[in-house]
Amino acid sequence: MAAQRTLIVGDIHGCHAELLDLVDRAALARDDRLLSVGDFVDRGPETPELLRLFRDETWADAIQGNHERKHVTSFAGTVKPARSQLISRQQIGEQAYPAAVAWFDALPRWAELDDVLVVHGFYEPGLPVSEQREKVIVGTLGGEMYLKKTYDAPWYSLYDGEKPLVVGHHDYRRDGQPFVHRDRVFGVDTSCVHGSRLTGLLVPEFRFVSVASRGDHWRALQAQHGEIAAPPRDSERTLWSQYVAGSLGELEGLRFSVLERLRDVAGAHAELRDEAPREAEALDALFADCERRAAALAATLRTRAADVIAALRADGYDALSHADQGRRFSDQVGPRPERALLHKARLGRLDAGEVMRAQKTPEALGELERALAPS
Ligand SMILES: [Mn+2]
């Protein structure tokens, strides 16, 4: 009888059909095993099927990835769920979700086989696997930042564990091929859920098996779930509360880029608007007013530029090179603050957005209005 083999599969992310394709292609025998490196949930069409497979089938095991962990932390209220967790929760169903989360929480953070060690994210040198920081081996942004700050070289080049290491989490090559570093670190995430490939590593023979993805599942799923909006990010929430608390300064004193960002944040997250409806309305009103004024200014400047060109035409302007046209135009206009905007108008590139980018604040818009007012 052949020795038992294990197919270690990269980030599956709800791609159940591709996983079945992969198991087929690997021609697993009856005693062979399947092991997910984690992130088998979220973003794909069939998260509940994968939950059922890894929880209920004795030949299939999984370790915890950052996505399974995020279900645990967001369900506990420690962090906000991302859109992909909200969609998975709906797919799994409210009734089954708490038990699913409890099972995610109980998943091991590593698997040690005869020939390899398997973790989802990263590995810090000098520490046994049992002493690895949770954020490092599970693969969070915080864990990645910690490694980058602490070490000068990429984490995989510093790997000093006894056995070769298999990881998921990052598609290191982005060409559908698995990542191999000196036959010591094997990266098997190849972005199946984004339309690339699903990859597994068969041990003990260290042979890669791979199948094509059936599509850009995450894009399709997001389009299907327009009703589930992404909750505000922490940075957006902070920006909004600073604005509401007045610590960003008076509304009038803010740059248009900040006002626009605030308006986008409030527009995308109804809950923020509900928390401070008066501020949201004041912001909308100010921004709409400024857009109207900027459009009027752009129209005035376009007319003035056209008048200048009409005057220059009598003097052979059309026959000049582009550079000379620019110089003649500048001479004619003289050293005025709005000269750069008049040039944009001359070249047909002036609209309200350009005016707001040049003037940057509502006050600066007012200054331009005064400069252009007929005396
Ligand atoms: Mn991951």
- Domain with 117 in it: what CATH number? 3.60.21.10
Residue 206 confidence (pLDDT): 97
Confidence of residue 74 (pLDDT cuts 50, 70, 90): very high
Among candidate residues 184, 205, 224, the one where a domain is terminated: 224
Instruction: Tell me: do 98 and 164 sit in the same domain.
Output: yes
204 found inside a domain: yes
- Write out the residues surrounding ion ligand 1, Cβ under 5 A: 39, 65-66, 139, 169
Instruction: Tell me: do 206 and 241 sit in the same domain.
Output: no
Instruction: Tell me: do 246 and 214 sit in the same domain.
Output: no
CA 236 to centroid of ligand 1, rounded, Å: 24
- H-helix or E-strand spanning residue 167: strand 165-167
In this model, does residue 2 exceed pLDDT 70?
no
CA 307 to centroid of ligand 1, rounded, Å: 60
CA 300 to centroid of ligand 1, rounded, Å: 54
3 state SS of 43: coil
Instruction: Tell me: do 49 and 85 sit in the same domain.
Output: yes
Instruction: Tell me: do 206 and 291 sit in the same domain.
Output: no
229 found inside a domain: no
Residue 153 confidence (pLDDT): 95
CA 264 to centroid of ligand 1, rounded, Å: 29
Give the number of domains in the chain. 2
Confidence of residue 1 (pLDDT cuts 50, 70, 90): low
CA 108 to centroid of ligand 1, rounded, Å: 15
Strands 165-167 and 179-181: unpaired
Provide mean pLDDT across the span 248-268: 86
User: Across the chain, what does the average pLDDT equal?
Assistant: 93
CA 22 to centroid of ligand 1, rounded, Å: 20
In this model, does residue 330 exceed pLDDT 90?
yes
- Domain of residue 300 covers 234-372
CA 195 to centroid of ligand 1, rounded, Å: 16
Instruction: Tell me: do 217 and 268 sit in the same domain.
Output: no
CA 92 to centroid of ligand 1, rounded, Å: 20
What letter represents residue 4's amino acid? Q
209 found inside a domain: yes
Per-residue b or e along 32-69, where b marks 16 or more CB atoms closer than 10 Å to that residue's CB: bbbbbbbbbbbbbbbbbbbbebbeeeeebbbbbbbbbb
- H-helix or E-strand spanning residue 359: helix 352-359
Tens digit of pLDDT for each residue in 150-166? Answer: 999 999 999 999 999 99
